[in-house]
Homo-oligomer: A and B are copies of this chain.
Amino acid sequence: MSRTYDRDSVEFSRVLAFTDGLFAIAMTLLIVAVTIPHLSDGNSIHELADALNDLSPAFVSFFISFAVIGRYWLAHHQFISLLQAMDQGFIALNLLYLAFIAFLPFPTALLGEYFENPLSIVIYAVSVGIVSGMEVVLFRHAHRRNLLRRKLTPEVYRFGVIASLSPLVFFAISIPIAFVSTTLAVLTWFFTIGLGAMLERRAPEGVESLLG
């Protein structure tokens, strides 16, 4: 007998304001992890260039993470556009999903500091994988409790689950690869975006709005 909140209610929009605030902070905090280098001669161009060069893994991991978290935000934005209402269970699950989003600055900073350590890659891939898993949990809950604007056909529902889980495959594959080459493992992650585009082309009718 959980209460539900319509799309027009103050309560529906509060959940989104909270979610968007948390995403915005998690994405902006990524840069705080990049500390300003200490130079022996502050005016030396050469020394600063060297120091910034040493920071390049940190910049790479900032932009990768901004892209990865940004992609989850886009998927969340698109997913919520399908909802007509939220119930208490959905709000609690969304909070759990956000706990893992809020955690992401840590594996990102780890990756920026120890880019060539396979364990950094594993921790990053697992963290991001959990977020993809939580996406499916949210989608499943919304489907079962009739929170979606339109009832989905079983085929469309199954397709949505697969589309949400597909990044998991690439993040899972990247784990053994990390022990061979961490750069190769990170490149694997970029296939996720390609996969999304490929899936979109093979989508059953009426599904276009389900892909994040």
Interface residues of A (CB under 8 A from B): 1, 3, 5, 7, 9-18, 20-34, 36, 39, 42-45, 48-49, 52, 62-63, 66-67, 70, 73-74, 77-78, 80-81, 88, 91-92, 95, 98-99, 102-103, 105-106, 109-110, 113-114, 116-120, 123, 208-209
Copies in the complex: 4
Instruction: From the candidates B5, B27, B45, name the one contacting A22 in the complex (CB within 8 A).
Output: B27
A9: shortest Cβ distance to chain B, in Å?
8
Q: CB-CB < 8 A to A24: which residues of B? A: 18, 21-22, 25
Query: Which chain B positions have C-beta within 8 A of A62?
Result: 103
**Which among B5, B70, B209 is the interface contact of A3 at CB below 8 angstroms?**
B209
A31 to chain B: which residues have CB within 8 Å? 29, 102-103, 105-106
Pairwise interchain contact A66-B5, C-beta atoms closer than 8 A: no
CB-contact partner of A39 in B18, B27, B44, B114, under 8 A: B114
Query: What CA separation (Å) do A208 and B30 show in the bound complex?
Result: 37
Whether A44 lies near B117 (C-beta < 8 A) is: yes
Instruction: Return 6 A-B CB contacts under 8 Å, by A number.
Output: A11-B81, A28-B29, A31-B103, A33-B36, A42-B116, A67-B99
Q: Chain B residues with Cβ under 8 A from A98's Cβ?
A: 27, 70
Establish whether residues A116 and B52, one from each chain, have CB atoms under 8 Å apart when the complex forms.
Answer: no
